[in-house]
Amino acid sequence: MTGNHQTLALFLFSAFIAVTLAITTWVSRNRHGSAEEFYAGGRLFSPMENGFAIAGDYMSAASFLGVTGLIALFGYDGLLYVVGFLVAWLLVLFLVAELVRNCGRFTLADVVAVRMRERPVRIAAGTSSVTVSVLYLVAQMVGAGSLVALLLGGTSAAARAWTVIGVGALMVIYVSLGGMRATTWIQIVKAVLLLSGTIALTVLVLLRFHGDFDRLLLTAAERSGHGDAFLAPGLKYGGDWTARFDFISLGLALVLGTAGLPHILSRFYTVPTARAARRSVLWSIGLIGGFYLMTIVLGFGAAAIVGPEAVRGSNAAGNTAVPLLALTLGGGANSTGGTVLFAVVAAVAFATILAVVAGITLASSASVAHDLYASLRRRNAKPRSEVAVARVASVGIGVVAIALGLLARDLNVAFLVGLAFAVAASANLPVLLYSLFWRGFTTRGAVWAVYGGLVPALGLVLLSPVVSGSPESLFPGVDFQYFPLQNPGLVSIPLGFLAGWLGTVTSAEVPDEAKHAETEVRALTGAGAA
């Protein structure tokens, strides 16, 4: 990559940072520091604004760069991976969005704690929410480090470390000063930038093939060297049965995990009613679906126009497929068009990462302050403002994420994202669905459902080939690998549901019929919603 790219890309990065910091100061100029304002942006966003913000929260750099790279290298298997990210939204729309908006106030634990003894349930749900958020954050930080190093050509360890620290510092500033209102506007700006960039590239790819998708596919298959196999499943997730079960496990985690992601749940509280929550999910399904359809075109376009060898030569995981495609579409490495398109794509990817980390940091600081701090602080301690605690928590989470991001810098980003989804599906989804729909659900059931999903999910990863026993694992020297799959979802999700059921049937607690009536009436009608 030449100096021109870097200068222009750096200029665009700085412009984005300046704009987002301006938004943050503008928004925080007349804040009143209430919890409603900090966690939920005053609950007055319109469905369209929230739909864009949800899409901005969800479309991470891992999809923009990772998925297109996957398709460019492995063809159809990349598409197979992407489908789960979209179908997951049906579960959110049907079972979660409206009911959570009606029942809760700021976090997942709010929904569960209503029917149960509050303290144990809040601690459990808060712990699992923070765990999911931190895993997801680390994935984004690692991605940011390698992305910027890749795009700016500075592959030195120092450049990556400083990128991770810079991203961490920026996200703490956005969140602690601007709260939900600033975070939401940053998501909206990012979603618009990302979608415009993707639309522009997709149009250029389709123009190149005169709008003939069939020719695009045939050219991609031909250049890939795999022929027709490139357009059918099996190149990446085929192979032995372990690889196949691993993919089924990942697919399950993706489709069930979205409904348990804390930063997605907290977005439903930023609109005034359940109906607005439903309409914002509809917006986001449209935007996210359109975005993923375009990434499919870009992925096959990169295979057809750039060619898999060139993609692999630049980055073995394929993460630079889209930037390379932009460079070629613009007219090549030394043309003005190529330089501009490349810099735009790099800046968009950077904006994507910044916005996603801000959203997750906000959700996890809400869990720390609203659930964990509120339940764990000493009874006679001087009560502090919850928002002040949340601001401090966002700094703490920023520090933890920076430290883990630096430690985990060699882990595969897609694996980390899959793991976050698996933990969300195992620990958060069972307790959420049970408390919304099961009349007999009890406190013990809720606590067991959370820990019964969380502990196996994390334990199985420790025993998986990711941590030990293979040349690519974290500790290649030792071997305590007893679980063959990289993604624990296939086992830990059923365990979470099972533990919740078992805890409920074995507890002596009589489920409170009135509390259940209250949950059900509030969930479906919105009576007394915050």
Partner 1 sequence: MRYDDPWYDALASGWGESDGLGGHAPVPEAGHEGRASEDEAAAAADVYLEVQRSAAFQEVRSRYRRFVVPGVAVFLVWYVGYVVTATTAPGLMAHPVAGAVNVAMVAGLGQFLTTFLFAWAYARHARLRRDRAALELRWDTQELTRGVRGGAS
By CB under 8 A, what part of segment 29-58 binds partner 1?
A: 34-36
110 lies in the site for partner 1, by CB under 8 A: yes
- When binding is defined by CB under 8 A, the residue of 121, 152, 285, 450 that contacts partner 1 is 285
User: Quick one: 158 or 510, whose CB is closer to partner 1?
Assistant: 510
Q: How far is the CB of 112 from partner 1 (least distance, A)?
A: 11
Q: How far is the CB of 277 from partner 1 (least distance, A)?
A: 11
Q: Show contacts with partner 1 in window 368-407 (CB under 8 A).
A: 370, 373-375, 377, 383, 385-387
Q: Compute the distance between CA of residue 495 and CA of residue 452 in angstroms, rounded to an integer.
A: 6
Tokens standing for 8?
Answer: 């222009």
Q: How far is the CB of 385 from partner 1 (least distance, A)?
A: 7
Residue 475 backbone dihedrals phi, psi, to 5 degrees? -120, 85
Q: Compute the distance between CA of residue 11 and CA of residue 4 in angstroms, rounded to an integer.
A: 11
Q: Compute the distance between CA of residue 345 and CA of residue 480 in angstroms, rounded to an integer.
A: 42
Q: Show contacts with partner 1 in window 153-172 (CB under 8 A).
A: none
The answer to whether the CB of 342 falls within 8 A of the CB of 330 is: yes
- When binding is defined by CB under 8 A, the residue of 19, 83, 159, 392 that contacts partner 1 is 83
Q: How far is the CB of 518 from partner 1 (least distance, A)?
A: 4
Q: How far is the CB of 228 from partner 1 (least distance, A)?
A: 7
Q: Show contacts with partner 1 in window 117-136 (CB under 8 A).
A: 118
The helix or strand, by DSSP H or E, that contains position 417, with its residue range, turns out to be helix 413-423
Q: How far is the CB of 223 from partner 1 (least distance, A)?
A: 13
Q: How far is the CB of 520 from partner 1 (least distance, A)?
A: 6
- When binding is defined by CB under 8 A, the residue of 69, 84, 260, 330 that contacts partner 1 is 84
Site string for partner 1, 261-280 (x = CB under 8 A): --------------x--xx-
Q: How far is the CB of 232 from partner 1 (least distance, A)?
A: 4
* Stretch near partner 1 under the rule CB under 8 A, chosen from 74-82, 159-167, 463-471, 483-491: 74-82
Longest dimension (CA), the chain: 73
Q: Compute the distance between CA of residue 408 and CA of residue 467 in angstroms, rounded to an integer.
A: 11
Q: Compute the distance between CA of residue 32 and CA of residue 473 in angstroms, rounded to an integer.
A: 48
Q: Show contacts with partner 1 in window 218-257 (CB under 8 A).
A: 218, 221, 228-229, 231-234, 237-238, 244, 247-248, 251-252, 255
Q: How far is the CB of 255 from partner 1 (least distance, A)?
A: 6
User: Quick one: 154 or 526, whose CB is closer to partner 1?
Assistant: 526
- Distant-in-sequence contacts of 206-212, Cβ < 8 A, 24+ apart: 206/297, 208/301, 208/305, 208/329, 209/304
Q: How far is the CB of 466 from partner 1 (least distance, A)?
A: 20
- When binding is defined by CB under 8 A, the residue of 289, 337, 494, 511 that contacts partner 1 is 289
Number of residues binding to partner 1, judged by CB under 8 A: 74
User: Quick one: 21 or 293, whose CB is closer to partner 1?
Assistant: 293
199 lies in the site for partner 1, by CB under 8 A: no
Ranges of H-type helices in 29-75: 35-40, 47-58, 61, 68-74
CA dihedral (457, 257, 352, 57) positive or negative: negative
- When binding is defined by CB under 8 A, the residue of 16, 58, 76, 269 that contacts partner 1 is 76
Neighbours of 254 (CB within 10 A): 24
The answer to whether the CB of 147 falls within 8 A of the CB of 65 is: yes
Ranges of H-type helices in 258-412: 262-265, 274-301, 308-314, 321-329, 336-366, 374-376, 386-407
Residue 474 backbone dihedrals phi, psi, to 5 degrees? -60, -45
Q: Compute the distance between CA of residue 173 and CA of residue 198 in angstroms, rounded to an integer.
A: 28
- When binding is defined by CB under 8 A, the residue of 11, 26, 94, 475 that contacts partner 1 is 94
Q: Which amino acid is at 153?
A: G
333 lies in the site for partner 1, by CB under 8 A: no
Tokens standing for 446?
Answer: 């809720």
User: Quick one: 118 or 409, whose CB is closer to partner 1?
Assistant: 118
Count, in order, helices (H) and strands (E) of the chain: 24, 0
List CB contacts of 243: < 8 A, sequence separation 6 or more.
237
Q: Compute the distance between CA of residue 363 and CA of residue 371 in angstroms, rounded to an integer.
A: 11
- When binding is defined by CB under 8 A, the residue of 293, 340, 400, 463 that contacts partner 1 is 293
Q: Show contacts with partner 1 in window 500-529 (CB under 8 A).
A: 513-515, 517-518, 520-522, 524-528
User: Quick one: 207 or 517, whose CB is closer to partner 1?
Assistant: 517
Q: What string of DSSP letters covers 349-365?
A: HHHHHHHHHHHHHHHHH
- When binding is defined by CB under 8 A, the residue of 87, 169, 203, 455 that contacts partner 1 is 87
- When binding is defined by CB under 8 A, the residue of 52, 268, 292, 451 that contacts partner 1 is 292
Q: Compute the distance between CA of residue 134 and CA of residue 128 in angstroms, rounded to an integer.
A: 10
Quick one: how far is CA 308 from the chain centroid? 27
Q: How far is the CB of 225 from partner 1 (least distance, A)?
A: 16
Determine whether 248 is exposed, middle or buried from the number of CB atoms within 10 Å of its CB (0-12, 13-18, 19+).
Answer: middle
Q: Show contacts with partner 1 in window 446-485 (CB under 8 A).
A: none
- When binding is defined by CB under 8 A, the residue of 10, 17, 21, 90 that contacts partner 1 is 90
Q: Compute the distance between CA of residue 445 and CA of residue 503 in angstroms, rounded to an integer.
A: 4
